[in-house]
Amino acid sequence: MEPAHAGARELARAVATRSVSSRELVGGYLDRITRSELNAVVTLDAERALATAAALDDETARGERRGPLHGVPVTVKDAIATEGLRTTGGSPSLASHVPDSDAPAVAALRAAGAVVVGKTNLPEWCGDIQTYNEVFGTTRNPWDLDRTPGGSSGGSAAAVAAGLTGFDLASDIAGSIRIPAHFCGVYGLKPSVGLVAGEGYVDHVGAGALPPDGNVLGPICRTADDLALVLDVLASAPAPTVGSLRECRVATWLDDPSCRVGSESAAVLGRAVSALAGAGARVSAPTPPSGFDELFELHLDMVLAAVAYNLPEDGVPPATATHRGWLARAEDRAVARQVWARWFEGYDVLLCPVTAMPAFPHDQDGDIGTRTLSVDGEDRPHMTTVGWCGLFSVLGLPTVVMPVGFTAAGLPVGVQVVASRLHDHTAVAFARLAAEVLGGHTAPPCG
């Protein structure tokens, strides 16, 4: 076992069998973090982590085990409260903020034996698809240092990909787990809305008691099996409905006129789907029950309403500027969720792109509302990057991102694996089965 890039379950097993100590794992990751050129882990809890690991090793020697993550090092996105450890939201206004309690999800990880090593970088208030802020600076992609790891959980995905942590606890409201997982070639789970406790999420001064509507906390890992392991610690979800690839009814939605996928990414996705069909998956391309534009406009209305307290008056979407307007759009969302629940009765999973392109070069001029990206020579607004992810955010559906291949330039390409609400383990199980055909996480060249 090479600990830096081993999965969390493998690390837990190694600690349990005493082939490696938790203190050795923590020390190894701390050393890698201090030597890293990525700026992914921005606050360390080294002394407490080493002391906790030593106590866990003593328990292991006595035949005791706190839980399935006993002795496994973890990092936590810097928007999620950690008791006694700085949590800034990437904002100068919270640069010295130290919570006096853990977010419930963090507490669950600690209770299961995980050792919190540090906090991972993010854009201020999680408000970008890149990862940089005035407090900690810019995080770089381990596949190409000149490119972004994505956002807002860019530090999380970069750290996991580069072997700086056993796994990471991150957050997602519009692709913040999924886009970085795609850009960095790792696995990420956006759980079903409401499944994992979301309290303790920090996105403005004083926040944490009430999570933003639609925001979820979930893991970023190096294997699909680790997603299942961590999910079982964070929440209770039904068992998967699939046990083999041949059982899987796989729908695909691989492109749309409203958000065309770049030709190189489309080719990678096409080869992956063909390989899965060749391995026995029952693949089809049915018409989705809602149009792309309809869902994306609904997503934008709801997500901007969720963070409206941080927006200037002229930035609040008219559709949700009043409580009556918000209720009307919330009704639209509820209807869409019912329509998709019925549609999923005929399918186990739906495969979709994550974004139209792989990781792009750092661009910190202007803001997310003014920047553009080039896709096959076409300039598009930055905001369209969240398009494919936003569809399943507003629907509240569990979505796994898994790596499925690389571009000619060696950049990872991922796919979204979507399942019906609360069937998170079905999406994870499919990703695990698909990895047997497509391969899994590959260690990047930079760390």
Give the closest residue to 141 by CA, choosing from 80, 186, 91, 203.
186
Q: Give the active site residue among 152, 153, 156, 192.
A: 152
Asked whether the beta carbons of 122 and 77 are under 8 A apart, the reply is yes
- Residue 152 bears catalytic tag: yes
Q: How far is CA 209 from the centre of its chain?
A: 22
- Residue 190 bears catalytic tag: no
Question: SS3 for 77?
Answer: strand
378-381 and 372-375 beta bridge pairing: antiparallel
The answer for 146, left when phi > 0, alpha when psi is -120 to 50, beta otherwise, is alpha
Question: SS3 for 250?
Answer: strand
Which residues does 186 contact at the CB level (< 8 Å), separation at least 6? 157, 160, 161, 220, 221, 222, 403, 441
Q: Give the active site residue among 36, 91, 153, 176.
A: 176
**Separation between Cα atoms, residue 375 and residue 184, nearest integer Å:** 19
282-284 and 372-375 beta bridge pairing: unpaired
The helix (H) or strand (E) run that includes residue 323 is helix 323-343
In the numeric block, which tokens belong to residue 226? 């680790």
Placement of tokens 């060696």 in the chain? 410
**Cα–Cα separations (whole angstroms), residue 131 to 46, 231, 249, 351:** 23, 25, 36, 26
Alpha helices in 36-74 (DSSP H): 46-61
- Residue 77 bears catalytic tag: yes
Question: SS3 for 401?
Answer: strand
Q: Give the active site residue among 21, 77, 91, 192.
A: 77
Asked whether the beta carbons of 434 and 402 are under 8 A apart, the reply is yes
Which residues does 210 contact at the CB level (< 8 Å), separation at least 6? 199
- Catalytic residues, which ones? 77, 152, 176
